[in-house]
Amino acid sequence: MTNLFVKSAPAQRIQTKHTVVHVSLLLFLGTSLIYLAFLKPGIWGFDGSDMLNMAKSLVLEGDFSIPKGAGAVLGRDGQYYSIRYPLLPVISTPFVAVGLWLGHALNLPTHYTAAVCALIVSILLTAWSTVAVYLLALRLGSSAVGAYSAALCFAFGTVALVYGHQFFAEPLLAALTVTAVLLAFQASPSAWGVGGLTMLSIMAKPAGIVIGPVLAGYFLLKRYSLKRVALPLLGTAMGVLLYMAYNYLRFGSIFSAGQSTSRFTLEGFIPRLVGLLLSPGAGGGLFWYCPVTLLAGVGLWKLAKGDRLAEALAVLGMFSSYWILYSFWQFGGWSWGPRFLVPTLPLLLAPTALLDARGRRWLLALAAVGFLVNVPTLLTFYQRYYAEASDAGKLVQALALWGNGLDAPLFNIWGAALRQLDVALSVDVRSVLNSAGTPPAAGNLLSADLMQVMAVWWWFLPAVGMPLWLGIVAALGLIAGGVSCLWGWAQQSRRL
């Protein structure tokens, strides 16, 4: 394990295991505390709600069944099952169990308390991915300052800031992807570990199928033994078999995941391929929503010019595999920026640690722009804009990947956030809780409970008899604690 914490020869100094572990812990804790200050009070959307219901069912019933409704498909045993993925609900079960207990203990709607606790999982996964960016950057030969900058830019300058507060599969897949790459890039790679992660990645989301072949190709380029080359592919095969078993458990067929494969099509491939990078429309715009990724190519070029051509090709191959795979998928949901490329963000940010001082200033400047793009989603739900568009009969325009740029979420989020704040200041959260679970009237999504409040946990404290100012102080304390940890991390990094 020592190699995980030791820089390669081109790095400026050799890192000691003890110091790097200390820095990593401070980075993990600092990121987690700041993210926790903005923990959402609930989950909006079919994907997250389905997976939360799956986790609740695992706790209460011991199976994956969910209530009948949107996202539910009739299964082989007469129960309803989600078309979503099993790993995140499984990981979340201890958190959901605590949330259910808290709901009963505090006489609050258990769906809310379970959701709040489940969302902590996304925060912890994103905090780990932040640490993994740091460790991977060191492994690629970065200086301590470069690794520090790249990790912070990932956590606070990309859509990781958004999806770390949502209950989607992408933060989990990002954590598994970067961890598998980190293990593969060691001087003595843990092929069994890589194989295990490739298997789990498919259970996190089938798109994780790309990880095994890319890393097998990397091992082949490095001229490792056939055993090491085969294990990522074996892990992929095992993951596919497990997912087939999951399909059979739900729907009685190993080939049925409950949803049509017709959305996987060549039609519209080029617009999606380009749009994922360049369009500010829904579901696209990597360079718009995560402008720091504009410098990823420079970092990869520096990596390839050194003695790391195989690593550069592996990172490029992993990104390209996800990018091309999702360009075949006819996506169109309520996404903020390029949700499907979130698993690639840690890999794109790690090489930016190799930039020189001038390049690092550009990196931090672009991260600041990315922070301003994404920060409105911390206090509100980004889905607010889509709900407004739906009620106004303009949802098709809002969801267009390529359409009128003025309809893109990117250019409307600040207005939507201010309107949600205005509503929240005039609504009693106790009344919101009393109507919890009541679906909004047709054509009036803005009447939904989560559209009536500030999208932070401490906004609900008055519902349990605590003053709002106490929650604000608690949130400020979490932010201060996180900043203190990150400052300590910076001080430690300078000594390396």
pLDDT tens digit at each of 496 positions of the chain: 334 444 444 444 444 777 888 889 999 999 999 999 999 999 998 899 999 999 999 999 999 999 987 678 999 999 999 999 999 999 999 999 999 999 999 888 898 999 999 999 999 999 999 999 999 999 999 998 999 999 999 999 999 999 999 999 999 999 999 999 999 999 999 889 999 999 999 999 999 999 999 999 999 999 999 999 999 999 999 999 999 999 999 999 999 998 888 889 999 999 999 999 999 999 999 999 999 999 999 999 999 998 899 999 999 999 999 999 999 999 988 999 999 999 999 999 999 999 999 999 999 999 999 999 999 999 999 999 999 999 999 999 999 999 998 999 999 999 999 999 999 999 988 888 877 767 787 788 998 889 999 999 999 999 888 999 999 999 999 999 999 999 876 665 555 5
**Looking at 177-313, which runs of residues are DSSP E strands?**
none
Q: What residues does 81 pair with on adjacent strands?
A: 65, 73
454 and 420 in contact (C-beta within 8 Å)? yes
Distance CA 389, CA 409 (A): 10
| SS3 of 393-416 | CCHHHHCCCCCCHHHCHHHCHHHH
Domain boundaries, the chain: 2-51+107-376, 378-494
Phi, psi (5° rounding) for residue 43?
-115, 125
At residue 34, the pLDDT reads 98
Q: Which amino acid, one-letter code, is at 364?
A: L
The 3-state DSSP class for residue 321 equals helix
As a whole number of Å, the CA-based R_g of the chain is 22
pTM for the full predicted model: 0.94
Q: Six-digit token pair at 428? A: 């009693």
